[in-house]
Amino acid sequence: MEEIEKYKEVFEKAKKVLEFSEKLVKPGVNIIEIAEKIESKILELGSKPAFPVNIGINEIAAHYTPSIKDDKKIGEDDLVKIDIGLHVEGIIGDFAFSFSENKEDREMIKVAKMAVEEAGKILRENVKIKEISATIESFVEKTGFKIVRNLTGHLLDKYVVHGISIPNVRNENNIALKKGQALAIEVFVTKGEGWVKEGSQTEIYQFKKDVGVRNIDGKKILKMAEKDFEGLPFAKRWIKEIPQTRLEIALKELVEKGGLIGYPVLKEVSKAKVAQWEESFVIE
């Protein structure tokens, strides 16, 4: 199938970006420098970001991308998650890895990675989502770590990053995978409660629908969200044409009116560190 070959090509590009990214992540480096270099690499390879590079440190599990003047640097004992999505004409690859120089953290990262690998071994036509989920939970529960229960893997579709969820815990979802179906197995592991909640900061948004706004900035953002960013998630820092104060006001209004979806930062509820691993697959 032509679609399968397209996904394979995109996944190869994503793996090149991952190799490039792994060399950037080390203590003392500013995270905005990492994000911008990775996003530039994605463009250099003839692809586009499917979403802003997510850089989650310690208890921050997902949806954190640096703000335009972010001065955060990676600390010596930090557990860092790098989540990368890219696409070519809407065909998406979604991958993530974690980094730490802490011995216990590295063990947790290893568990997340191996859980993804175990799930990968059973992927085939007609395998059910519940079988994938059970495989992941069965593996992790033997290790002494906990799965973050309200974060999941997901099906991929054209211009759709998060399709139907693939939970990392047992469930009764009987949906079976089809030939040519693309999916991302995404596992989050912790020693904490195993649950995330929304924080107060939002740096990532996505087009939802065109709504009537009088604000000129709002109209401009909606047009960019739908056309320039192709309806995919985008970072607040990508919009440089509008001063920050006005940008904040316009984004808030667009979310309230239902034109945009905002993705608040997600943090582990007990503030425990979280490790993440993710790989994309296509069913042949």
Q: Where do the domains of the chain lie, and which CATH numbers do they carry? A: 2-195+269-282 (3.90.230.10), 198-266 (1.10.10.10)
Neighbouring CB atoms inside 10 A of 1's CB total: 11
pLDDT at 118: 98
Q: How many angstroms from the chain centroid is the CA of residue 81?
A: 10
pLDDT at 1: 67
> 3-state SS string over 199-238?
EEEEEEEEECCCCCCCCHHHHHHHHHHHHHCCCCCEEHHH
Contact 200, 264 (CB under 8 A): yes
pLDDT at 214: 86
Cα 27 to Cα 78: distance, rounded to the nearest angstrom = 8
Helix axes 2-22, 31-44, angle to 10 degrees: 140
Strands 260-268 and 60-62: antiparallel
Cα 272 to Cα 15: distance, rounded to the nearest angstrom = 29
Closest alpha carbon to 136 in 150, 116, 154: 116
> What dihedral angle (degrees, nearest 10) is formed by the CA atoms of 63, 33, 45, 9?
-40
With 0-12 CB in 10 A as exposed, 13-18 as middle and 19+ as buried, what is 106? middle
Give one DSSP letter per residue of 128-149, joined into a string: BHHHHHHHHHHHHTTTT-EE-T
Below-50 pLDDT ranges, the chain: none
Catalytic residues: 83, 94, 154, 162, 186, 278
Beta bridge partners of residue 204, listed in sequence order = 235, 263
pLDDT at 212: 84
Closest alpha carbon to 233 in 96, 95, 22, 87: 87
Closest alpha carbon to 156 in 132, 180, 127: 180
Closest alpha carbon to 233 in 3, 62, 41: 62
Measured at the CA of 71, the angle between CA 60 and CA 98, to 5 degrees, comes to 35
Sheet holding 196-207, edge to edge: 60-62, 260-268, 196-207, 234-235
